[in-house]
Structure formats: structure tokens, C-alpha cells
Structure 1
């Protein structure tokens, strides 16, 4: 970047910030022009810029949304839905009088369901976690490097995918651990943490289930995923009624074909549907709030250790311009410099 822009003339910091603020006002005006009459909002309340940071109540978030809508001269009626996590604060906003219809984040619901499913295997998962913790020590890593290049992983309570990662890593490390001598394992305190044969077999069974869960998670994280892919299959009686009326119905996948598909492929396999529908098109509604998390990840990359002294307002300006890069061009920059 330095070499690319080495020929540019020097510019003062205050001048650059003044140009950025002018561009912000220009982009905001264009956003206000292009916002449709009806729309929805996607939010993640963990990073809302509230005036009082310690106040995380529903009313504060409600007021923040109302203030943002007033800036763009949009009434509450213009917002048709809100996509957010299934926490109590967001549910209150969606259920209160004059509130917004809330679409719970599918990824968040799926994480809660997987966490509930893994409760019965918590004892086994705790043993695998304890083994991984021991192998993550200096002595444990040194012994592990004798037989494999793989490193032990850590399990995080807030991210169920880390459970899939440590179970998968355990199945790969198990042959390497078995190749170590009994005396070496006892000396390092690893022998007592090894899983029994039945527990190892159970770990392989859990891994197969978690692999399907992992496929569903990656599918839910697609930026192109919409609620239009959520279709319920009809019963045999309902299909017969539709045939008598002469309407097109969804074609089911045969059991033989379904057995050859993965869990995700079976759920999202394309089917022929009726051309006409009595319901509103929901293809524009995102089923998850992963877009917010991707935005936070981008902010983390920009706000690196070399930019820790960067002002928060400047960071917001940079990220706003980056995510709305299609709304400004070189002519916008020239107008800001005039």
C-alpha cells in the first residue's frame, strides 16, 4: 500500500478527516434516497453504540433503533422485520406494542439446539477437553511432536464448533498417542487422561453426528441463504387434495436418492414448486444475522495492534465507507475536496 501510494502528495491528518466527514454526509444522503419504502433490519446487540455502555436493556436498544430511523425520515411502519439473536432483549422488542416482527437468527437457534443435544455427552467431552488441555502444555506439546505434527485444540463454551474440532482432532491424535510408550505417558501424566476403548468408540459416533451439524452450520453461514428455502413437505393426503384441484405440488425425493445425499443436501435439494403463491415473497429476508458477525470480523482485521490508537469515530467512518463502497466513487471524493 505504501509503494502504491508513494507518489501521492502529503496531506494533513485534520484535512483528511475533514474530507472523510464530507464523504460520510454524501453517502448518508444517498443511502436515504435509496432506502425503499419497506425494509428490514439485521442487528447484533452485542456491539450496539449505546450512549450508556453499561445499559443493555431493551428500552435502550429500542430507542437506538427509533433514533436511527428518524435520521433517515423513516417511520416504524416501514420496518417489516428484524433479524437478531433469540435473546430476551430482542424478543421483547419484537413482542412489545408497536415493536418489530422478529425473525430469530437460525444460526443462533441451531447453536442452542446443538448445545442442548450435547448435554448427554458432556462427561465424555469433558474428558477429551482435559486430555487436550494436558497436551497443550509445554511438556505435552514436546512429547506430541515426537510422533505427529498435529497440535491439540481448545474447546470454547460459546462456540459449539470447537467441540466438533476437538473430537475430530482426538480421533486423529489417538493413533499417535498409542504409539508412545507406556512409561512416557505415565511420566507426563497423560496415561490417566486417556479414554477407554468404549469411550473412544463413542467419540467416533459423536463425530459422525457433529460432522452433519458442521455441514448445516456452514450452510447457514452462506450470504446467499434466504427464508425462501424453508419449505415444509406435504403429507400424502394433502398432496392428493392438491392433485384434485389441478395445482402443481412439490415433488418428493425418493428414499433411495435421499440415502445417497448428505444431511445438508437432503434439506436444500431443489424441488419443483408451484409457480403461484398466496404468500408474500420472503426471498429478501436473511434467516441469520451472520452478516453482522462478518462485519465484526472485518473490523477486527482493520483494528490491528498497529492501530490501537485509532479514534473510535474514525474507525466507524472507515468501516462505513468500506461497506458502502458501491455508493461512492472518485467523483464523490472530488466533490468532498471542493
Structure 2
């Protein structure tokens, strides 16, 4: 709170930037210890990884997640282990990545023998990591599907050129004068303003959103002043309309396989369903299980056979590739439809089957056959999209105007944000009127109790520990009068016993009999 403006709008005692840095880093370290304890109970772990270059800093960050079967919930779980540059930022090769992986495993006391595979994009660097480190690579299904869709687009005569023309037209339509005219036209036609959408080169799905919007406002684009020279021909419009039907199918698959913990078997079912349609057979160049793009086909095919209950058909190479894996049971059969279904209907049916399988497993229904392999469905994810989701959040924290923020602080903040969504961290928020609350108690049953007014506070202790991250915020109502207060507590399970907010507006937390006073504000 060294900023005068920030200090003027809050009602808590001032603290220095060093204070908040201390508690952010300390909290992140405590969280790392909790993650290490949980991973110690796990039999098999997968490492999910991807890279991202921060805008405005030219710093390349490597994100590493651990995926595993939760020891208590027996479902797929993933936690962030690290997001940081390589130790030598000039070296982005396989050896630099391996050095970072080994350092991360050492930080969490995780034995390399527990790592059954790496999950990441099908790029040359990741393939080299797999070969040199001696751990199989499972290529990210989303990345492969992205490449397959681009292959399909390139195989359609004239489609790429038509999409390029749409991608030229739509940016022109968001310029100042055309956008104003287009807004009036779309409001008259659709009773709301519809703006043009453009292609995002890093996401193929932007093709579909761009095409959908183009087809919806085509008549208004044709009538918009200043866009006449960019209008598409009749043939190009026909190609775009036909492509939109296929894009809707691709979009369904792409969004579905991005789900957390999406398993290899369901992804293979969806890919095979697409490839069975002659219209999309060209996509086999990227989606075939033994295509050249696959670095470890024996491992992936072996996993699929085990998940189908066909472990007896494993070849020697496949059995050797999945030697670290053991499975617990097979999946109940689902009745087949009697009539012939369309490609889109089969894709939807596959999704329904997966939901039924998950529901039956959660209810404990159905008999399960014993198998010598672990439950691969809750151990190995088919994609590394957790890294992409992390980068989407990180770009709002690691922004150019925060260039002076140390990497260790940015990494600690990201660690805390990600663990919030796992079972490792709990949170509760209290909103209250001034002078009405005196203490908060969070008991072993995870029930929140709020005694008010005449409750004596806990006496401070001389001992100190790291505070599990917190933010104390004062809200303003009607811009000037402060009517409501809030504080949010972030903590590890079984570490907090009570909280109270005293008359001096200081937040007190007691951890296993040890109390801290730390007034922090939202970051």
C-alpha cells in the first residue's frame, strides 16, 4: 500500500510491498509442501507440459502439471508444479527442458520412476525430450486435431482462399466508419448490434466463429459502405456455407476433448468416428494412431487396448511400453443403436456413453473385472489443455506494465491461483457491516461459524508461522460511503482454527494455536 491513491481508499493499516511479497512466497512454499505430501501417496504420475511466451517481455515460460488418480477421491486430478523459464533462457532445447523437469521433481521429492508419461504438443522438442529422458510422450489430442482440421481445410478446393477473403473482409468491417454503419444495419435487421469477428491464428476454432458471424450478417456486410471491394463472390459464399456445416462438427469435437481429464479411449472413439466418414478421411494423416506424428505409438495403442479390456492382445513392444501401468477394471457395455446414424449423431452418442460410464463408476454400479493394470482413465489425460488455460489466466497477470514484477512473485501467484481449484486449498469470504463481526471459526466438518459482537478475541501468541494467503478488502458503496467490509481467507485444510476482525480493523488468524496479524489488500 505504498501507492497514495490505494492507501486513501482502504481502511486498514499500511503495509509495505515487501510484506505482501513475503506472504505470497511463503504461502506458495507451504502449498508446494502440501502437493508433495499428496504426490507421495500416488502410485503413478503424468507430467503435462507446454510453453508460452509472455507478451511484452519476450520471456518464455514452461508450465508443468502433474496428473494422477486422487488417492482419496479416486478420480483424475491435476496440480500445477511449476511455471517458470528454463534456467538458461537462451536455451529452449530438449536438454534445458529436461533440466527443468528434474529440478521440479526434486522440489516435490517425486521419483522419476513414478512418471509414466509426458503429455504435450507433438513438436520436435517434446519428442526429443521423450527419447533422451526415456519416458513415453503422449501427443496432445487437441494439438493433433488442430493440425488435422488445417489439413482438411487445405484439401477442400478453394476453401482456404475463401476463408482468407472473409478474414480480410471482417477486419475491414471493424474499422471506425464501417463499424458504425454496420452496427446500424445489424440493429435494424436483428434488433441488436452485431460486430464482425476475425480469425485468431493460434486457434483454428476462430474459423468457425468468424464464419458463423459472417453468414449471420452477410446481407448487412454487402450493404455496408466502404466494403464493396471486399465482398465475396457467389462461388466463395457457397464454399463458406458448406464449410460451416463441417466446422460445427469439428467444433463439437474440439470443445469436448478440451475437458479436464479427457481420457485417451474416448478421444480415439471420436477420432475414429470422424475418420469413418469418407468426407473426413484426409484427416487420418494426423489422427491415425500410428501416424508418423505419434512419437510413442506402442505406448498409446497399448493404453487403448488395456482401456478396451483387450490386454490379452498386446504385442511384446506394446506390453513393454506400458510396463509401468496397471488397471483395476473394465467398463460396462452400452447397447448399440439399431439404425444407421450420422457422423454427428455417433459423436454425440459417444459422449453420452462416456457420461454413463462416469456415472456408473461414481455410483459403484456394475461388476468390475480385475486387471493387472492401473485405471488409465483417471491417470492419463489425452490433452495438455490445462497449460493453455493457465496461460490464458497468466496473460492478465504477467502484463507489460508489470515488467518489474519478479518472476518468483508471478510464479507464486499462479501457483496459488491454480491450487485454489484443487482440493489442496480452501477458501471462504465474509461480507459484513462494520462493528458487527468479532470472530470466525472454521471447524473440522468444514462448516463456517460467525459469532457476532460480544465474542472475546483469541490472545496473540509470540510464535510465528507462514500465513496461508489472504486478502483483506474494504468495499465502497455509493462511491464515497463505506458500508460493507470483506475479507477472504485462503488456507490449507486442518491449518486454521479461528479468525477475528478487531476494532482496529486488523485481521487475526490462528493456525494450530499460533496466531498471526497480517493486513493485506487485494492484488
More displaced 10-residue stretch of structure 1: 299-308 or 102-111: 299-308
Give unpaired runs (5+ residues) of structure 1: 234-241
**Corresponding residue of 1:105:** 140
**Corresponding residue of 2:99:** 63
**Corresponding residue of 1:316:** 411
**Larger RCO: Structure 1 or Structure 2 (Cα < 8 Å, ≥ 6 residues apart)?**
1
- Give the CA deviation at 1:32: 1.9
Matched, 1:174 2:218: yes
Q: Look up the SS of the partner of 2:185 in the other structure.
A: coil
TM-score, structure 2 as length reference: 0.54
Q: CA RMSD in A?
A: 3.3
Among 262, 265, 268, the residue aligned to 2:351: 268
More displaced 10-residue stretch of structure 1: 202-211 or 151-160: 151-160
**What is the number of residues matched between the two proteins?**
316
The Cα offsets for residues 165-197 of structure 1, whole Å up to 9 and x where unpaired, read as 22111111212234x3xxx75xx2x33322222
Alignment of 1:6-155 (within 5 A): 6=10, 8-35=12-39, 36-46=42-52, 47-48=61-62, 49-96=85-132, 98-119=133-154, 120=156, 121-148=159-186, 149-155=193-199
Q: Look up the SS of the partner of 2:47 in the other structure.
A: strand
| Contact 1:22/1:336 (<8 A) preserved | no
Quickly say closer, same or farther: Cα 1:10–1:173, change in 2 above 3 A. same
TM-score, structure 1 as length reference: 0.81
Counting strand residues as a fraction of each chain, which structure ranks higher?
2
Matched, 1:197 2:234: yes
**Corresponding residue of 1:283:** 377
**Corresponding residue of 2:394:** 299
Quickly say closer, same or farther: Cα 1:20–1:127, change in 2 above 3 A. closer
Structure 1 Cα separation of the partners of residues 408 and 21 of structure 2: 10
**Corresponding residue of 1:238:** none
Quickly say closer, same or farther: Cα 1:263–1:199, change in 2 above 3 A. farther
Quickly say closer, same or farther: Cα 1:135–1:251, change in 2 above 3 A. same
| Contact 1:225/1:287 (<8 A) preserved | yes
Among 194, 203, 211, the residue aligned to 1:159: 203
**Corresponding residue of 1:236:** none
